Amino acid sequence: MTSAAPKTDICVDVAIAGAGLIGGTLAVALARHGIKTAVIDRLDPAAMLEGSFDGRASAITASSQTLLAAIGLWPHLADVAEPIREIRVSDGAAPLFLHYDHALLGDTPLGFMAENRHYRLAVARAMAELPGHLTVVSGRAVTGMSDGPDQISLALDDGQQVRARLAVAAEGRDSKLRELAGIGLTGWSYSQTAIVATIGHARPHDGIAHERFLPAGPFAILPLPDDRGVHRSSLVWTERTDAAPGYLALDGTRFLAEIAERVGGFLGELSLIGPRFSYPLGLQFAARYGRGRMVLAGDAAHGIHPIAGQGLNLGLRDVAALTEIIADAHGLGLDLAHPEGLARYERWRRADNLMMAGVTDVLNRLFSNDIAPVRLARDLGLAAINRIVPLKKFFMRHAMGTVGDLPRLMRAPRTGTARG
């Protein structure tokens, strides 16, 4: 009788649970800084690249694009990302609106739209360039965590152990490491569902992102690159959770008719491209951003409403801040899980993330109703911001992610001439 040899432990500087958009980007960033990193995901990476896995597209702010360029990920994404040149915000069919035009600040786009499946492929390609510093463990789930004075060990479901100086939970809202660390959550459901679909249209979108506030929630029309001569946009249709299943069950013709009614005729004839997706919406915030040698990043720490398209960008700010703190400690020969460094990370990111969570929560509650006095007040507010140019520029810079205490990786010099 023979027995299988025990699996050899994986020993690294940093172990990341979750190889999605945030975990994968962090792995690339750390490996680019010469930090020995392992990234673990329970899913097969090929499955995450399928078009049926994730139908969403994400907004990437100007500062996030700076980060991706700095770590060598942007070259894998640039050709399939669409620049956002304008943003138009309106309250249903009201004549008053808010209009952001990138030309008001310079030549740099306000941001970019990229399909999540393309982002995941860009991460996979960037990872493949870093075999000396990056270990990818796929199809394995973390089942246990043991935190010691000098290292943390993650137990995998096949009996293998991953040992590191620091572990990062980046597995999304249902983080296993957060659960194992006993870190609680504060949050609530919005009783809303995001219906996501890609549409083709006869007329070009001209790089304009539209956000329309309807009684059930925001309806976003987001520009995507043309595909084989077809103009495309991503839709994020927020609907009441009790009504969403009925819309999702419609046949293609009736579903497209519902979309056309909300989009209007400015894009010309519409068509549906690919399947429909739905995602429940809610807010959640971790009670703390870490414990011992484990820290949280991205949706494991904070999940917000997609109303402002900032969810991914908050996670990327986590990535940039955490990379800076870890790389500085590594360069000085310090413990990567030094309490002062991790406390700085929590102070740095918690305030920004809490503020954005509060802003998106208030905006969703303010605009997801049809109460006449409230509707009048918010329409006047949009119009006022649109007319006061210095205030509009301030909000535009916030939308671009270029204000605040930015990590170094998000402050790289950019091309273009800033004005005002």
Residue 419 has pLDDT above 50, yes or no: no
Higher pLDDT, 338 or 412: 338
Taking residues 205-220, what's their average pLDDT? 94
* Range in 49-63, 186-200, 284-298 the model is least confident about: 49-63
The rounded mean pLDDT for the chain is 91
pLDDT recorded at residue 352: 92
Q: Is the pTM of this model over 0.85?
A: yes
For residue range 140-181, list pLDDT tens digits in order: 999 999 999 999 999 999 999 999 999 999 999 999 999 999
pLDDT recorded at residue 326: 98
Taking residues 298-310, what's their average pLDDT? 93
SS (H, E, C) the chain: CCCCCCCCCEECCEEEECCCHHHHHHHHHHHHCCCCEEEEECCCHHHHCCCCCCCCEEEEEHHHHHHHHHCCCHHHCHHHCEEECEEEEECCCCCCEEEEEHHHCCCCCCEEEEEHHHHHHHHHHHHHCCCCCEEEEECCCEEEEEECCCCEEEEECCCCEEEECEEEECCCCCCHHHHHCCCCEEEEEEEEEEEEEEEEECCCCCCEEEEEEECCEEEEEEEEEEECCEEEEEEEEEEECCCHHHHHCCCHHHHHHHHHHHHCCCCCCEEEEEEEEEEEEEEEEECCCEECCEEECHHHCEECCHHHCCHHHHHHHHHHHHHHHHHHHHHHCCCCCCHHHHHHHHHHHHHHHHHHHHHHHHHHHHHCCCCHHHHHHHHHHHHHHHHCHHHHHHHHHHHHCCCCCCCHHHCCCCCCCCCC
pLDDT recorded at residue 32: 97
Residue 420 has pLDDT above 50, yes or no: no
pLDDT recorded at residue 93: 66
Taking residues 225-247, what's their average pLDDT? 97
pLDDT recorded at residue 87: 94
Taking residues 406-417, what's their average pLDDT? 72
Task: Name the percent of the chain lying above pLDDT 90.
Answer: 76
Q: Tell me the domains of the chain and their CATH numbers.
A: 10-187+283-410 (3.50.50.60)
Residue 418 has pLDDT above 90, yes or no: no
Residue 4 has pLDDT above 60, yes or no: no
pLDDT band of residue 6 (cuts 50, 70, 90) is: low
pLDDT recorded at residue 101: 93
For residue range 197-209, list pLDDT tens digits in order: 999 999 999 999 9
Residue 211 has pLDDT above 90, yes or no: yes
For residue range 71-82, list pLDDT tens digits in order: 999 999 999 999
* Range in 47-61, 315-329, 333-347 the model is least confident about: 47-61
Taking residues 29-49, what's their average pLDDT? 91
For residue range 218-227, list pLDDT tens digits in order: 999 999 999 9
Taking residues 122-135, what's their average pLDDT? 94
pLDDT band of residue 413 (cuts 50, 70, 90) is: low
pLDDT band of residue 371 (cuts 50, 70, 90) is: confident
